[in-house]
Amino acid sequence: MNSKKAPKTANQRHQRELKRDQHHAVIHWLVTGFVLLVLLYIIGYTFAAGFKNLSLNFFISSDFDRGIAPQLFNTFYILILSMIPMLLIGISAAVYIVEYAKQGTMLKILRFATETLSSVPSIIIGLLGFLLFVTNFGQGPRWEFSRLAGALTLAILNLPWMMRTAEDALRAVPASLREASYALGATKLQTIFRTVLPAAIPGLMTGALIVSGRVIGETAALIYTSGVAGSSNGWFNFNLIHVPGDTLAVHIYTLFADNPTPAAQQGQTATAVVLIALVLGVNLLGRFFERRLTKRFSGE
Amino acid sequence: MATDTAKFSIKDLDLWYGESQALKKITFDIQPNTITALIGPSGCGKSTFLRQLNRMNDLIDSVKVQGSVLYDGLDILNDCDVIELRQKVGMVFQKPNPFPMSIYDNVAYGPRLHGLATGKKRHRALDEIVERSLVHAALFDEVKDRMHKSALGLSGGQQQRLCIARVLAVEPDVLLMDEPTSALDPISTAKIESLLDDLKKQYTIVIVTHNMQQAGRVSDATGFFLTGEMVEFGKTDDIFFNPKDSRTESYISGRFG
């Protein structure tokens, strides 16, 4: 009873609010700390298990469970192939949404569509990619399991994310800059290309890098499109539509699913280390550009 | 004030944001090579009016306009190329808004848009336009050694003069200024005010200001706006020392606003 009683003076009330403030700070700190701990655990566990299995040979060998040279190559090849259409379509769509679309039904439909697309499981998008690119719905000339098929599937999968980050980057450009451009007699198109997009480049870079992290780590969408083949022969070629190729992430899956020998397990943990380091590096680079962006508008 | 010599001749100008009317039957003339100050309390419509002179209000979907605004006899509300109009009628904003580019590129932005530097020596020509504009805006000496550094490294007052130079570079005829010194310190403000006096030899200037002393110091004519209406317009001295309307007198003497 006593402890629940309302404090009498303003000072007591003030003290109570201060206490409450401190308690909340501790709770939030603990929750944040927990999230950080999970991340650190994943990174720490992976490195502890896999780092000792890394060697120079591991990076240059194309042997199925002894090296990841083909997978490294495929990962970057597919990354570049998927980023090109994604950037073009994603940025164009964001320009439409930010600069042209009026608040209304069209924008609502677009938002609903992108949000739905972004929550479709990646394995489903993978099946779509299989139908669309690999089998071509059984009509006409068909591709094989191929890196372009995988890249385009990843482009579909990540397009909503690219659009969202590009939209954020364009919205971060102050309206006063657009006004300045219009007031000098620029057309809308000139304003977009000469003011908005150049000013948004650091933000667009950040978005592209964050999406790159997702592309590098994606697995399910690739199994039915670029395939699981650990191609040991002739992997170093740029053939788009007839040569399959597994990425680092798919490689981890294949090593586990096909052949869980001790050697494969070692390769698996080492691959995981490389993959995590890559994703981490890409995200850190993204943060770096984000800082550049803030500096740009505060005048450094 | 004969209409045929006026730079702008505004007649019965009404403007609505959606359902709410922001300007009511504005009628007056703006004479060439003068500085016209528009004063009035916040939300009285003076900025909205200013933005109608170069049709910046077009950017807001809900705006509806009625009446006529003649610029050199040309009806700018109906048959006019808004791109051409904005090149002739430049605008400086309340907050300095340089592009996140170099000082040079900021000033060259307009000339590049409109292809003002042409021919074989167009790089030289562009250099000259940039330099002339910066000199004209009384900024050149301060920035001549850092033309290719970011404009965002300049002080607020320098940034605002850069914005003036950027407008001058497209060879306008009229300068619209929307509280151009309200974000600046007194020294920067004084610099811009003395610049205005210089600029009016070549340009017609319309300035919106909250600062009554500023209106008194720099302008030749003053218009007093209140809740969307032009209460009184006349020579600045008359408005300040001999206002005809009691509301003008109350505002000038600081009884509201």
Would you call B134 helix, strand, or coil by DSSP? Answer: helix
- Position A139 pLDDT exceeds 90: no
Q: What are phi and psi of A39, to 5 degrees?
A: -60, -45
> Is this structure's pTM higher than 0.90?
no
Using pLDDT thresholds of 50, 70 and 90, give the confidence band for residue A136: confident
Query: Does A48 share its domain with A60?
Result: no
Which letter does DSSP use for residue B150 in this model? B
Q: Which of A176, A187, A194 sits opposite B83 (nearest CB)?
A: A187
Query: Does A204 share its domain with A240?
Result: yes
CA distance A122 to chain B (A): 39
Q: Which of B109, B152, B153 sits opposite A184 (nearest CB)?
A: B109
Structure tokens at A134: 């690999």
Query: Does A39 share its domain with A134?
Result: no
The predicted pLDDT at position B1 comes to: 45
Query: Does A108 share its domain with A138?
Result: yes
Enclosing H/E stretch for B74: strand B74-75
Q: Which of A102, A177, A185 sits opposite B99 (nearest CB)?
A: A177
The predicted pLDDT at position A300 comes to: 46
**Residue A243 maps to which CATH number?**
1.10.3720.10
Q: Please judge whether A180 and B95 are an interchain contact, meaning their C-beta atoms are less than 8 angstroms apart.
A: no
Q: Please judge whether A183 and B91 are an interchain contact, meaning their C-beta atoms are less than 8 angstroms apart.
A: yes
Chain B residues in contact with A184 by the CB 8 A cut-off are: 86-87, 90, 109-110, 113, 166-167, 170
Torsion sign across C-alpha atoms A229, A233, A237, A241: negative
Using pLDDT thresholds of 50, 70 and 90, give the confidence band for residue B2: very low
- ipTM for the assembly: 0.93
Structure tokens at B11: 């007649």
Q: Please judge whether A102 and B93 are an interchain contact, meaning their C-beta atoms are less than 8 angstroms apart.
A: no
| Residue B195 forms part of a structural domain | yes
CA distance A195 to chain B (A): 7
Q: Please judge whether A183 and B153 are an interchain contact, meaning their C-beta atoms are less than 8 angstroms apart.
A: no
Pairwise CA distance, residues A134 & A149, whole Å: 6
Query: Does A72 share its domain with A39?
Result: no
**Residue B227 maps to which CATH number?**
3.40.50.300
Count how many pairs of residues, chain A against chain B, have C-beta atoms within 8 Å.
71
Query: Does A163 share its domain with A243?
Result: yes
Query: Does A43 share its domain with A154?
Result: no
- Best interface-test mutation with A: which of B57, B62, B88, B97 has the largest number of A CBs within 10 A? B97
The predicted pLDDT at position A202 comes to: 86
Q: What whole-number percentage of chain A has pLDDT above 70?
A: 92
Of A65-79, A123-137, A252-266, the range with the lowest mean pLDDT is A252-266
Torsion sign across C-alpha atoms B214, B218, B222, B228: negative
Quote the domain boundaries for residue B13. Answer: 8-99+172-252
Quote the domain boundaries for residue A185. Answer: 56-298
The count of domains in chain A is 2
Pairwise CA distance, residues B222 & B206, whole Å: 10
Quick one: which of B242, B228, B241, B206 has its CA closest to B41?
B228
Q: Please judge whether B170 and A185 are an interchain contact, meaning their C-beta atoms are less than 8 angstroms apart.
A: yes
Query: Does A265 share its domain with A291?
Result: yes
Those residues with Cβ within 8 angstroms of residue A244's Cβ, 6 or more apart along the chain or in another chain: A144, A145, A146, A147, A226, A227, A228, A229, A231
Query: Does A39 share its domain with A86?
Result: no
Quick one: which of A103, A212, A97, A108 has its CA closest to A161?
A212
CA distance A163 to chain B (A): 23
| pLDDT one-digit tens code per residue, A142-194 | 788 888 999 999 999 999 999 999 999 999 999 999 999 999 999 999 999 99
Query: Does A154 share its domain with A269?
Result: yes
The count of domains in chain B is 1
| Residue B135 forms part of a structural domain | no
Q: Please judge whether B90 and A183 are an interchain contact, meaning their C-beta atoms are less than 8 angstroms apart.
A: yes
Chain B residues in contact with A186 by the CB 8 A cut-off are: 83, 113
Query: Does A150 share its domain with A189?
Result: yes
Query: Does A105 share its domain with A208?
Result: yes
Find the chain A residues whose C-beta atoms sit closer than 8 A to any C-beta of B: 102, 174, 176-177, 179-187, 190, 194-195, 198-199, 296-300
| pLDDT one-digit tens code per residue, A26-36 | 999 999 999 99
Q: Please judge whether A182 and B99 are an interchain contact, meaning their C-beta atoms are less than 8 angstroms apart.
A: no
The predicted pLDDT at position B218 comes to: 93
Pairwise CA distance, residues B143 & B154, whole Å: 9
| pLDDT one-digit tens code per residue, A10-25 | 888 888 888 888 888 9
More confident residue, A93 or A1: A93
Which letter does DSSP use for residue B122 in this model? H
More confident residue, A228 or B37: B37
CB A68 within 8 A of CB A251: yes
| Residue B138 forms part of a structural domain | no
